[in-house]
Amino acid sequence: MAQEHEKKAILDTLQYFFDGLDNIDAGTIKTAFHPSAWQFYVSSDGLRANPVSHWDRTCRAVAENPEHPFNKENSRKNVVYIDVTGNAAAAKVEWVFSRFMYTDYYTLMKMDGRWYIMNKIFHTTIFEDRS
């Protein structure tokens, strides 16, 4: 089915993000995003807005900090859903670390034969201390 084919193509795009973050490789991460994409989230200081290029800084900061959780473990990626209509789509992914979890929502578009993340928002859930 065409739908299944597109979902697989979207997974290919998400995989750049997964592999890039596992390897702290900004170049690979950015392959998943359209250059016009923005990432937004709400921090304790309010709205934070990051362009795609922020991954260069973020990956450098992680590489310089051995204690950063991205260095200590690779998260389990849980693709909760992918929903496709023509050349527009949405996806939800949980990145499960041992002490916290990111829930990401993406909107995506298909252009020039491949899918790009156009917008990313996320929420961080801290797990209760189970020790």
Site residues (CB under 8 A) for another protein? 2-3, 34, 36, 38, 40-42, 46-47, 49, 81, 83, 85-90, 92, 103, 105-111, 118-125
Q: Which is nearer to another protein, 65 or 124 (CB)?
A: 124
Q: Which is nearer to another protein, 24 or 89 (CB)?
A: 89
Shortest Å, Cβ 39 to another protein: 9
Amino acid at 88: A
Shortest Å, Cβ 108 to another protein: 7
b/e burial code for range 88-101 (CB count within 10 A of at least 16 → b): ebebebbbebeeeb
Beta strands in 19-127 (DSSP E): 33-43, 46-51, 76-85, 88-96, 100-111, 114-126
